[in-house]
Amino acid sequence: MATAQLSEGEKTFIIHGIMEDVRTDGRSCEEYRQVEVECGVVSNTSGSSRLRLLNTEVIVGVKAEMGDPSPSHPNEGRLEFMVDFSANASPEFEGRGGDDLSVEMSTRFAEVFRTQSVLDLVSLGIIDGQCCWILYVDIVVLECGGNLLDAMSLAVKAALANTRIPKVTVLKDSEGGEDIEVSDDPDGYSTLNIDMVPLFVTLSKIGQRHVVDATLEEECCCSASLVTSVDSSGKFTGVVKKGTSSLSNESLHEMLQATKKVGIQLHHSLNEVLKEVGSNTSGRGFLVG
Amino acid sequence: MPVDKKRITGPEETQSPLLFQKYDKSSVILVDENGKRQDERDANDCRPIFMKAGVVSQAQGSAYIELGKTKVICAVYGPREVLRREDFSMTGILKCDFKFATFSCPVRRKFQPDTEEREFALIIEQALSPAVCLHKFPKSQVDINIKVLENDGSALSAAIICSSVALSDAAVEMYDVVTACSLRLSEDTMLLDPTYQEEVTSIRGDSNANLTIGLLPSINQTSAMLQKGHIDCDRLLKWTPLKSFLHYLLPSRCPSLLVFCLTTQRIADLYGGLSENLPHGPRVPQEVGHKQTPTGERNGTRRRKMIAVSKNGKREQNDRRQN
């Protein structure tokens, strides 16, 4: 991860401030930074979104393609995640530098979305055992300002809300084989039900307290963090402890309780925004009006 | 995901016959009316453990663990110089490589480490870091290589325990031994140390999750936590009884097991000499003797100096010298 270089004095300043529930930008420990979400920003995709969490910027593009279903679930479609760290975010991501981190994050997403009730994958099936929709969710990190996973999961949820999958009709031709016809009607699409899609909430332990939405400087002072994926009802679909330090029982309890509270609030806020901009497909830019 | 095109791998068009087996998932019962699981254990019972240290002669430290049918072997090389100049740091680095043997799981695994293995490697690294005195070996790294020979559930926990025993066998300075345990949680049941069958059986529509915890027992701190699946927050927090169970069970077994398995004089001194009382459960490897010559050297010489005590109590080495 792109890290800021901090001196011991700066770290002490941040840790002491957090002990008093005051962070360097004036937020409280469980407050998020200002989030900007835009949907339908890339016109070549089936769904896209752009998210800005002050200094962290992420663009997600979802492309729906047809392919073979996995043999263990022949009637379901699937999602494939790929996180790409662009060299814009940090010079250490140039070439293959961002690979390790990208694999780690793609795995986190894949793992969480593999849980059964997250998305209705059966609706993505076309012909049992032969053809299904595969949604390639590609996340590009343009700017790295801390708290990447949370930002990426918010953007992914927004992009999935924006995704339009063309309607498909399966015709039986004269020899008994099956022919697939994709509708070219601009209104002939179906959208995904994203109610159960979870969001990542990262809680970083700094000193004796935990903070939500750590900035790059705060991440340097953090000894351990808990990355939880929470759905809108507060259920956990994946918990991982990261970092080289250990956590005590009480910290763990506090952090998990806080995660549930923060997660539900985050879902609520995002759903409010998506009601307005979720179905936007105008393809924004400076030239297009 | 970029694929390695330089290696020649086997044909990819093959599929496991298990995928074609039709079986009724709803008929798999994890716990029956008497509260017994499929292998006759209670919900709170761990499988019997066997551990042995010093199994890889070329490595500085190594360990082998059997947790029921799950078999994991770990070798530790180091501390040695960092291989890449860019990784220079004033504290030591732990590099962990985790791999399932291709034949270890019901469905054949690929030769290349896949994403699950890379994730586990990262978790084990982070589980062991708080326990190791990293500041004692600056500019150096310790390589931990873990191989799962057979996966019958709880592979990650077995790997964490195995690698901490291997680290102690390598005489890497540590604050504490890391123990770990897995749990299978669902709406109304909590199964300790699940088998592979119990881990993958999913009950549709129900909340069910697999949880692995890594614990530093002496200081009661959690160093690893991985939860997969769907679970309610309050249900997850109820695992505190598990934590205290872990705290009580594994460390009480581990020190005596360590004393028994490890043959280095330094570790034996730490625990006040070898214990004659065998802990309940593990099998006794016959070749480890009761007496040993103190030796300052590690890596190979210690085994030659082991003196086996034969049945009549006479020292066999004496007999050999006379012949």
What is the domain partition of chain B in residue ranges? 38-281+299-310
A239 touches chain B (CB under 8 A): yes
- In this predicted structure, the answer to whether residue A16 has a pLDDT above a threshold of 90 is yes
- In this predicted structure, the answer to whether residue A96 has a pLDDT above a threshold of 80 is no
* Beta bridge pairs of residue B231: A236
- Amino acid in the structure at residue B271: Y
Q: Give the closest-approach CA distance of A31 to chain B in angstroms.
A: 21
A240 touches chain B (CB under 8 A): yes
CB nearest B230 (choices: A106, A110, A115) = A115
Choose from B86, B225, B238 for mutation: most chain A CBs within 10 A.
B225
Query: What residues of chain B lie within 8 A of the CB of A242, using their CB?
Result: 126
A180 touches chain B (CB under 8 A): no
| Three state DSSP letters for chain A | CCCCCCCHHHHHHHHHHHHCCCCCCCCCCCCCCCEEEEECCCCCCCEEEEEEECCEEEEEEEEEEEECCCCCCCCCCEEEEEEEECCCCCHHHCCCCCHHHHHHHHHHHHHHHCCHHHCCHHHHEEECCCEEEEEEEEEEEEECCCCHHHHHHHHHHHHHHHCEEECEEEEECCCCCEEEEECCCCCCEEECCCCCCCEEEEEEEECCEEEECCCHHHHHHCCEEEEEEECCCCCEEEEEEECCCCEEHHHHHHHHHHHHHHHHHHHHHHHHHHHHHCCCCCCCCCCCC
Closest CA to B51 of B190, B213, B277, B256: B256
In chain A, whose CA is at the least distance from the CA of B118?
Answer: A104
What interface predicted TM-score (ipTM) does this complex get?
0.83
In whole angstroms, give the CA distance from residue B209 to residue B184. 6
Question: Tokens 């529930």 — which residue?
Answer: A21
- Amino acid in the structure at residue A124: L
Query: What residues of chain B lie within 8 A of the CB of A257, using their CB?
Result: 233, 237
CB nearest A239 (choices: B219, B225, B240) = B225
Q: Give the closest-approach CA distance of B297 to chain A in angstroms.
A: 32
Question: What is the tens place of the pLDDT at every residue in A127-155?
Answer: 888 889 999 999 999 988 889 999 999 99
Are A238 and B123 an interchain contact pair (Cβ–Cβ within 8 Å)?
A: no
In whole angstroms, give the CA distance from residue B301 to residue B278. 26
The stretch A97-106 carries a mean pLDDT of 84
CB nearest B130 (choices: A239, A245, A253) = A245
Higher pLDDT: A226 or B279? It is A226
- In this predicted structure, the answer to whether residue B259 has a pLDDT above a threshold of 50 is no
Q: Give the closest-approach CA distance of A8 to chain B in angstroms.
A: 15
CB nearest A244 (choices: B1, B130, B226) = B130
CATH architecture of the domain formed by B38-281+299-310:
2-Layer Sandwich (3.30)
pLDDT band at B27 (very low <50, low <70, confident <90, very high): low
The stretch B188-199 carries a mean pLDDT of 85
Question: What is the tens place of the pLDDT at every residue in A111-124?
Answer: 888 766 788 888 88
B308 touches chain A (CB under 8 A): no
Taken in order A173, A179, A185, A191, the sign of the CA dihedral is positive
Q: Give the closest-approach CA distance of A25 to chain B in angstroms.
A: 30
Are A103 and B115 an interchain contact pair (Cβ–Cβ within 8 Å)?
A: yes
Are B229 and A115 an interchain contact pair (Cβ–Cβ within 8 Å)?
A: yes
- In this predicted structure, the answer to whether residue A237 has a pLDDT above a threshold of 60 is yes
